[in-house]
Amino acid sequence: MDAREIEADLNETLVTEAEIHAKLAELARRIEADYEGRDILLVGVLKGAVMVMADLARELRPHVTMDWMAVSSYGAGTQSSGVVRILKDLDSDLTGRHVLIVEDIIDSGLTLSWLLGNLRSRGAASVEICALFRKPDAAKVEVPVRYIGFDIPNKFVVGYGLDYAERYRNLRDVAVLAPHVYS
Ligand code: XMP
Ligand code: MG
């Protein structure tokens, strides 16, 4: 895809790279204060959270460690069903660890709600969530998110790790995907 084709697939830019970096710096200062003296294990949810993880982790003072999970929701189409399958599990033992889940976006909340329960059952000292985006109008379950970047409208967005059919993840800004792309 060339730059003009990509541009034709996007509607308005919702959040710029500079706004994301400023927000992550703000969240990092809060996280450092809240976890003072404790080592954090950042758990990124593949693949969408790769950019958030890379930028948040570098904003945080040592020591953090990073681990990754890949999950998939059963069910047809683009809607999350809440029945989640682990595609790649963590390498780490969570016993006694302070786990901070790093997620790109909360839509229905079903995926994170399941993940939270799953990680809490593994003996961690604490499990909290940091999500860059949240769509309040799409919520089906309430997820207790400690750190949230931006509340956004209930539209499909891409960029900064977020994809449609694996495309657009490497866009620096987050933009609304034009409906003609998926309809
Ligand atoms: P739930 O509904 O379980 O789903 O909260 C969260 C996951 O769905 C994906 N998702 C999106 N991906 N643009 C994307 O590129 C979006 O607007 C969007 N909304 C949800 C994403 O993988 C997220 O982890
Ligand atoms: Mg995701």
Residue 106 Cα to ligand 1 midpoint, Å, equals 6
Secondary structure of residue 74 in the 3-state scheme? coil
Cis bond upstream, residue 47 (ω within 30): yes
Q: What is the pLDDT of residue 170?
A: 96
Q: Is 107 a catalytic residue?
A: yes
Residue 46 Cα to ligand 2 midpoint, Å, equals 6
Q: Tell whether domain 17-73+82-155 is in CATH 3.40.50.2020.
A: yes
Q: What is the pLDDT of residue 77?
A: 56
- pLDDT tens digit at each of 183 positions of the chain: 888 988 889 999 999 999 999 999 999 999 999 999 999 999 999 999 999 999 999 999 888 999 999 998 765 556 667 788 999 999 999 999 999 999 999 999 999 999 999 999 999 999 999 999 999 999 999 999 999 999 999 999 999 999 999 999 999 999 999 999 988
Residue 49 Cα to ligand 2 midpoint, Å, equals 6
Residue whose CA lies nearest to ligand 1 atom number 17: 156
Residue whose CA lies nearest to ligand 1 atom number 22: 48
Q: What is the ipTM of this complex?
A: 0.92
Secondary structure of residue 107 in the 3-state scheme? coil
Q: Domain extents for the chain?
A: 17-73+82-155
**Could you tell me where the DSSP H helices lie in the chain?**
3-8, 17-34, 50-59, 110-120
Q: What is the pLDDT of residue 129?
A: 98
